[in-house]
Chains A and B, each alone.
Chain A
Amino acid sequence: MKQILLILIIILAACSRLLWLDRFPVSLYSDEADQAYNAISLLKTGADEHGSVFPIGLRSFGDWKPPLQTYLMIPFFAAGFPIEFATRLPSAILGIFTILVIYRLTLYWTKGNSRAALLAAFFLTISPWHILQSRSAMLVGITLFFLSTAVLFVEKSIVRPRYLSVAAVCFALSIYGYYAMRMIVPLMLVLLAVRFRSLLRQYPKAVLSAVGVFVTLMIPLGMAFFHEPDVVFGRARTVSVFYDQGVRLRQWELITQDGVDAPASLTNFFHTGIYMFGRNIAGRYLSHLDPRYLFLTGDTVPPFQISGMGIVYLADGLFLLAGSAIAFSMRFREQMKTMGVWLLLSYLPAAFTFLTPASNRTFSAVLPFVVLIALGVNRLRTKMPGRLFSYSLSAAYAVSFFFFLYQYTIVMPQTYPRWWNWGWKQVVQFVGPIAHRYDAVIIFDVDGMPYIYTLLYGAVDPETYQREAVRTYVADRFGYEHVEGYGTYLFPTDRRWSDVKNDPQPRTLYVVPGEMTDSREEALHTIYYSSGMVMAKIFSYE
């Protein structure tokens, strides 16, 4: 019976993660498009868009994306899958496998409680947080799989120590999967080393072998770091709280308010950077436990937003609390400690950035969440009349799940297509066949890195692009590096259509984002969002 239920859960997971992968989300986000093009480039030329041969870090938009997901896309592009499918399938497939992993992991953590394990698998299957990330190639979906598999194999190594090497491989792969793992994994390894210290004494060869495997896999990253430190840190510098001037300005303001008569030593004591940054970081850490973020508003940064709801269901709230209390009462069990520390570590990397709360950077918290919810449901089930509880629970989650599906498949595509940079594919499909008639195609680079869409949907040969691309490698204030142009395509970032339209260049096609144009302006072609608003206008000057 349990096997049948597990199979049904996997079928539900497969349907919710694989069906219409090209339509929901409504478009490839710029990061997805970039990884897709880099995968194609690696497949055809062995180098990324910048010409780096099989790089350890993808320079991309200057954010140095971890490369694992891109490499995982290559077989799907080689097999001829459509662009959107090839881009998202690795994340979707590994998202499904993660459900199997959480089932096994929950069995270990609850000492064989198969009901709790099935519940955890089910809650992960219907989790809006997990569905959103599994159906997109935003790095965290695949990373979660490798992280959870690593922990699972560490748990299994109690019986078979040779599994430690498998765990080491998975930990290493997770580090190649997402930036946050570069902070979480080392701390997690310390925790696991303390917890499994008896294993260290009993099976030194297996442990040494695992350490050797891990270190070997980290060598390329280490070597790349010496060549280019940003390979390891990515955009960490520009998104970190220490880069944001808010704290320093506030510090200056408070020092000023102390007055010129206040002794400098006292002022420095009261307004130290350590305290102010520490408080700021602690506040950002705790913001991820804000019930409004969890249940009502969710992540406010597109494309990680889910309209009309939080990242977990409202119904999860009660069970999350109950499950946390149960885990707390079992806190002296080693497995619960592992899960607890996993949850606490998940928020650490995001706490050091100024864009909080962040659902993608804290995505590894989704597994402890669903386990806690499962524990809560499992315990409360015994406290209430059986059928009443089952029917109520089923009704609550059915309503929640279908509300999420409604938001995800109907509201978001119709009302918020801009969150996923919808429209650039349509632009390229129109511009591509006629571009040869013009000396220049100028696309205003306001939002969404349009150059990558012209490359991907225009099927631009990677070798040609690597040769022709003009880039200054100067980062903007957000740390992104823009492309000036390639071939006849130009992507100005500092020009306004209002300046250009009165004196346009001849034999030029202009692609202008909707917010720059006037509704009265007649264009060669206009691309509309489903709401009727203008996404872009294409102007032709012969």
Chain B
Amino acid sequence: MKRSFLLVCLFLYTVISRFWHIGTVPAVASGAVLFGRYGTGFASCLTLLSLYCFVRWYSRSTRTALLAVWVFAVSPWAVEQGRIFSPLQIFTPILLLLIWTAQLIRFKLLRIMRYVSIAVATVAFYWVVWEFQKDTGIASFSSAFSNLFALFSPSMLFVSNTTFWWGGVREFGMLFLSFAPFFVLGLLDLISKKQWMVLGYVVLFGMIASIAPQFPEGRQFYPALPFLSYITAAGLRHLHVRSQTVSLILLCMFLMIWVYEDIQFWHFYATHYSQQVREATDKIVVPF
């Protein structure tokens, strides 16, 4: 009951954060784009639910699932991309649902076919996205290598996300800075437990984004965000230490820092980011 209540709260938070002033923050150029934004917002809410299902199955822990969903719901990149027209938002919940439902299939052959279908869907979607963005070719090997490292840099993850220069919130990373220690803990935890699937998907989408010729414009990396949220959630579980007092102190400190950072983000998003987009309309080629 309590966990369902938390999930509902997180869902409501996602709905509000994606749809509140969706047409004005950031300012929208046309009706078609606004329509696209509603679709993206809906897909972002669906991602929340599909992420919950996936993590609950994968980690066998409802608590971890709720934590992952919370991290995703509040993450700056998810909020920012969930409020603009972003085709990858539609792909992400489909991906998570395909992965989650694959495990429900008992027959091995069908399960293999399901994973093949995931691969096909990924290739097809990115091909469409590439065509949509009118990209040609791929980056050279050395550039792709460097791009991959740039994507996985702490700067990109926690400090300054530059994957969408004129339309993104560059003052914040993909995840909140206060999540950084937990992300590291979660990463080490998953590696030590050999949970390669999650890490594999993160690397896969990192590689796709790194070969994009328009890098550092790298929104192709977005489908990795739910998995990054799961990694962070795995690390958040380590907030609980042997001493209850120490656990409580750590939790309070973390929550205070995170709450302030979240408030900072919303102020920045509503005030400075909006202004930034309004002032850069001549530089924005594709409206979002």
Contact = CB atoms under 8 A, between A and B. Distances in A.
B5 interface: no
B177 A291 contact: no
B188 A328 contact: yes
A262 to B, nearest CB: 8
A328 B154 contact: no
B188 A286 contact: no
Which 10 pairs show the lowest CB-CB distances between chains A and B? Answer: A286-B154, A325-B191, A328-B188, A291-B149, A283-B159, A325-B192, A329-B192, A290-B153, A292-B149, A270-B267
B192 to A, nearest CB: 4
A296 B146 contact: yes
Contacts of A282: 159, 177, 180
B173 to A, nearest CB: 9
Interface of A: 254, 257-258, 270, 275, 279, 282-283, 286-287, 289-292, 295-296, 321-322, 324-326, 328-329
B15 interface: no
Given A254-B272, A290-B155, A325-B191, A275 B264 contact: yes
Contacts of A322: 191
Interface of B: 145-146, 149-150, 152-155, 158-160, 177, 180, 185, 188-189, 191-192, 260, 263-264, 267, 271-272, 275
Contacts of A287: 154-155
Contacts of A279: 159, 177
A257 B260 contact: no
A257 B272 contact: yes
A254 B272 CA distance: 7
Contacts of A275: 260, 264
A257 B192 contact: no
B80 to A, nearest CB: 18
Contacts of B267: 270
A292 B153 contact: yes
A295 B146 CA distance: 10
A296 B188 CA distance: 23
B64 to A, nearest CB: 17
Contacts of B145: 296
B192 A289 contact: no
18 contacts: A254-B272, A275-B260, A275-B264, A279-B177, A282-B159, A282-B177, A283-B154, A283-B177, A286-B155, A286-B159, A287-B155, A290-B149, A290-B154, A291-B152, A324-B191, A325-B188, A325-B191, A328-B192
B147 to A, nearest CB: 10
B19 to A, nearest CB: 24
Nearest to B148: A291
Contacts of A324: 188, 191
A292 B150 contact: yes
A283 B176 CA distance: 12
